[in-house]
């Protein structure tokens, strides 16, 4: 590329979503965000990732906040910047598949409350699980981005990624994201991947990676050189470790090159100053564990996301079987292969992890199978890239005939029934959607909200003892 050919790389800032989800368990409250919104709005980011993922659940469950209200406040504070959310395909922001009417209504209300870009992914990369959300986003004239869960394995050849990119273009998406939740995308491989994908599709390509394995900023640089259009970064106090590369570093890296972002480093430094104070507070209270800030090379060695490693540790601790850690780590790829070599991301990472623990603890593989493993082998999560291990399937679900259709085709409309259930507590249209995703947690929150308004001691409704779903 000659110097005259300019191709400024676009930056998506993740401080309001993934950066704090990755480093402080999504606990940043709205009141920490509000004072800095006008500065964030002046930067000229391509977009601010600020909603979806685990933020919705955490708002209701731990922060006693209405996630919809948070979104409206961010929209008000950032009138000039596109707002982006993360959406788990047919699972929306929850942990089970929903009927199409709920998915469509959720997309509609998200856009009505301020979302401009919806990033939609599926843990199996089964595009059928994304179609309803993509079509709904198209209908709302919102940017529909399909995110591919990046993983490694025999099935995941360049041909696999380029073929699926073409299919995503055909299904009506506006852009593609490579979602590398584990930090497995290493610099030179990423260059090959992006070069091939740019040849296969005209859609803009965005890279979302995590610093867990220490490669992420080099990977982003190689991706941009290979033609990636957009990169995800986090302002420095909440960057690196299990989060994204630092925004300022990437801005400075591309300065004076054809990829120059044009963003103002001084303004970014002011934003960093603000969040550095909050970060220090998080370190003091223990919310930010310094362990999350270093390089964890095990993630490359075992090809599992950092979050999954810590889940396995705590599961084994509960079972008083910490000495089985490495045995379980060796079992993870075996289970993953039995289950069609699926990517490891919510919820497949939990399904594979728990089953691996079970197989090791029981001393016999699949002697006991979790409900989720059974559902997976019965096709209820969708199709995997490789076939299931037939022997394992027989042992776990016997003669049950697996479904081969799109799983949501078997779920009847649910919105009317949900509306009836939530009616007595409803203060806004969106309440039915909070309730659909997290019935018990939302009900507790609605009661807390009522109590606040009527002056009853709101502390009577303690929601912090509800177990957090991994
Ligand atoms: Co992420």
**H, E, C per residue of 14-26:** CCCCHHHHHHHCC
pLDDT single digits (tens) 96-119: 899 999 999 999 999 999 999 999
CA of 414 to the centre of ligand 1 (A): 30
CA of 179 to the centre of ligand 1 (A): 7
CA of 306 to the centre of ligand 1 (A): 11
Predicted TM-score (pTM) of this structure: 0.93
- Three-state secondary structure of 198-240: HHHCCCCEEEEECHHHCCHHHHHHHHHHCCCCEEEEECHHHCC
pLDDT single digits (tens) 66-100: 999 999 999 999 999 999 999 999 999 988 899 99
CA of 144 to the centre of ligand 1 (A): 17
CA of 91 to the centre of ligand 1 (A): 17
Confidence of residue 463 (pLDDT cuts 50, 70, 90): very low
Query: Residue length, the chain?
Result: 470
Average pLDDT, integer, range 122-142: 97
- The more confidently predicted of residues 167 and 304 is 167
CA of 183 to the centre of ligand 1 (A): 9
Helices 158-170 and 187-200, axial angle in degrees (round to 10): 40
Q: Is the pLDDT of residue 464 over 60?
A: no
Confidence of residue 309 (pLDDT cuts 50, 70, 90): confident
pLDDT single digits (tens) 274-288: 999 999 999 999 999
Q: What's the mean pLDDT when you consider all of the chain?
A: 93
CA of 149 to the centre of ligand 1 (A): 10
Q: What's the pLDDT at 470?
A: 26
Q: What's the pLDDT at 205?
A: 98
């Amino acid at each position: 590329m000659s110097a005259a050919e300019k191709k400024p790389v676009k930056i998506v800032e993740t401080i309001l979503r993934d950066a704090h989800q990755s480093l402080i368990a999504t606990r940043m409250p709205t009141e920490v965000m509000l004072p800095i919104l006008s500065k964030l709005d002046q930067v000229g980011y391509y977009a601010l990732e600020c909603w979806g993922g685990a933020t919705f659940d955490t708002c209701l469950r731990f922060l006693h906040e209405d996630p919809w209200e948070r979104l409206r406040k961010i929209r008000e504070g950032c009138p000039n910047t596109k707002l982006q959310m993360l959406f788990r395909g047919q699972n929306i922001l929850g942990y089970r598949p929903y009927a199409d009417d709920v998915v469509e209504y959720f997309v509609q209300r998200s856009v009505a409350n301020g979302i401009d870009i919806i990033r939609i992914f599926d843990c199996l990369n089964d595009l059928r699980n994304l179609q309803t959300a993509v079509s709904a986003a198209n209908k709302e004239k919102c940017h529909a981005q399909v995110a591919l869960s990046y993983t490694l394995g025999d099935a995941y050849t360049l041909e696999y990624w380029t073929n699926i990119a073409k299919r995503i273009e055909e299904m009506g998406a506006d852009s593609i994201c490579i979602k590398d939740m584990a930090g497995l995308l290493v610099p030179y491989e990423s260059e090959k991947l992006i070069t091939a994908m740019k040849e296969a599709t005209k859609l803009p390509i965005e890279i979302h990676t995590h610093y867990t394995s220490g490669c992420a900023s080099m990977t982003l640089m190689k991706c941009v050189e290979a033609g990636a259009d957009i990169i995800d970064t986090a302002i420095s106090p909440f960057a690196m470790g299990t989060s994204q590369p630092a925004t300022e570093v990437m801005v400075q890296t591309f300065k004076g090159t054809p990829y120059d972002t044009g963003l103002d480093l001084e303004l970014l430094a002011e934003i960093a100053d603000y969040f550095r104070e909050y970060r220090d507070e998080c370190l003091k209270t223990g919310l930010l564990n310094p362990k999350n800030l270093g390089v964890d090379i095990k993630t490359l060695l075992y090809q599992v996301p950092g979050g999954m490693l810590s889940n396995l540790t705590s599961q084994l601790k509960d079972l008083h079987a910490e000495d089985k850690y490495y045995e379980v780590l060796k079992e993870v790829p075996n289970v993953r292969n039995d289950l069609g070599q699926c990517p490891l991301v919510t919820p497949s990472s939990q399904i594979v992890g728990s089953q691996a623990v079970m197989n090791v603890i029981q001393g016999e593989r699949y002697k006991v199978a979790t409900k989720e493993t059974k559902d997976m082998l019965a096709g209820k999560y969708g199709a995997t890239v490789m076939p299931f291990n037939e022997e394992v399937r027989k042992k776990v679900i016997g003669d049950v005939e697996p479904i081969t259709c799109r799983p949501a085709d078997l779920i009847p409309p649910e919105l009317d029934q949900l509306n009836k259930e939530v009616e007595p507590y409803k203060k806004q249209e969106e309440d039915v959607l909070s309730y659909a995703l997290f019935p018990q947690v939302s009900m507790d929150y609605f009661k807390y909200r009522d109590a606040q308004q009527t002056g009853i001691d709101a502390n009577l409704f303690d929601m912090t003892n509800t177990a957090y779903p991994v």
